[in-house]
Amino acid sequence: MAFRILVLLLPATLLLIGAFISLAPVSTLSVADQSTFTLVPYLLALVAVFLGYSFKRSRVLLVAINLGAAYFLIQNGLQTSLARPDNYVLYSAVSLLLPINIAFISVYKERGIFTPIGLLRIMLVSIGYIVLFALKELGELAYWISELPVSLIEMAINDTYLSNAAAAVFVVCLIPVVISLAVRKTHTDAGLLASLISALITLLWFDRPLISSLFISAALIALAISVLQNSYNMAFVDELTGILGRRALRDKFSTLGRTYTVAMMDIDHFKKFNDTYGHDIGDQVLRMVAAKINNVKGGGKAFRYGGEEFAVVFAGKSESETLPYLEEVREIIANYPMTIRSDERPCDSDTGKKLRSSQKESENVQVTISVGVSEKDSSHANPETVLKAADKALYAAKKAGRNCTIASHQPPPAPKKSKPRRSKFDYAQQ
């Protein structure tokens, strides 16, 4: 899980590091170039809003509005000294509103955008900034300086502008953002965390030239990338098993060189398994088999071809080189202790112990796969024909009794016996 989260955070981390490195160079730009650079976040906010709308990512759209509105107030109301009462009140309000909005957005579920709840969320994100802008334009904010609590006046860290209250709000808001990332593990949540960190850095070192332009831009780019990454997953990653799907297999075919081998795998008697135990258990079997196949050694790349069929591509390897790795996967699956829980569920722990002792609560079943393999040669000159040859070898493995591997160019290896297990239904032998 930790590795998955680190992968999700990698693009945002690189963007934030890039923004930090760019602080010194951008400060040396001419006044005209700096003025042009301040327009970049507006363009990026529009891009993020468009992507969020186009790909039905309401949280991306909301965060883009949040960041864009905060940036607008910073550029149009906070470009003079914070010693001015109205500026300091505006800065204090933004330092609270920006993280609070991100925290609320992080716990939202993806819903429609132009629906009652979607429009309500847009209004909730926008209303605070609209009110602040109106009060700033009317000159009303200066009168609020005497109403600010001490926690909004005392600085949390020396040589920064972040108040104790704002620092506390950022810490509290970090909690739902991190929890959402840990639970959902989506690119959008990684973008939300990047947005919160960008907001914190911007407000901490608020006096640095173009800091808001740099870090707000980094956060908006991270959000845009998250939409593209989510869309890639939807198109190329199988939702049920979590491994690459058929479209990704077609893309893989376009990158293969002169030597490669394709293996086709099929779960034995899967329809009977579904009919006996139901589709929920069938889905568990698919996920288990996919996970084992995805761990194939020898440089193989696993794909879900469709239904209970899987494909593995070995670039740069012949049939004979891949057979040991495929046999290893076949044996791992055949020897995996797959337990089917009884419909008779215990209502308390004592009943559960009795059921377990009487072996009525669950039963073990043997899940097996058949494997067909083919390599590229003169008669199978492209990936499509190699795939068909592997599928033909898979059919031969089914006819040979299942739970075995057959290569199209070589005699089948002697099948190794799987560990015996107690099972009401041994699907490899039916």
Catalytic residues: 308
Q: Tokens 């299942």 correspond to what residue? A: 402
| Of 168, 28, 44, 271, residue with least CA distance to 52 | 44
Cα gap 39→168, rounded to integer Å: 31
Query: In angstroms, rounded to a whole number, what is the distance separating the alpha carbons of residues 294 and 118?
Result: 39
Do residues 420 and 408 make contact, with C-beta atoms less than 8 angstroms apart? no
Q: Helix, strand, or coil here: 322?
A: helix
Q: Check if the beta carbon of residue 92 is closer than 8 Å to that of residue 163.
A: yes
Lookup: tokens for 147: 């109403």
326 close to 373: Cβ distance less than 8 angstroms: yes
Alpha helices in 260-318 (DSSP H): 270-277, 279-294
Q: Is the distance from CB of 263 to CB of 326 less than 8 angstroms?
A: yes
DSSP state of 38: T
Report residue 323 as tokens.
């057979």
User: Tokens representing 255?
Assistant: 């990158």
Ramachandran assignment for 257, one of left (phi > 0), alpha (psi -120 to 50 degrees), beta (any other): beta
Residue at token pair 């799907």? 245
Asked if 266 and 370 count as a contact pair (C-beta separation under 8 A), the reply is yes
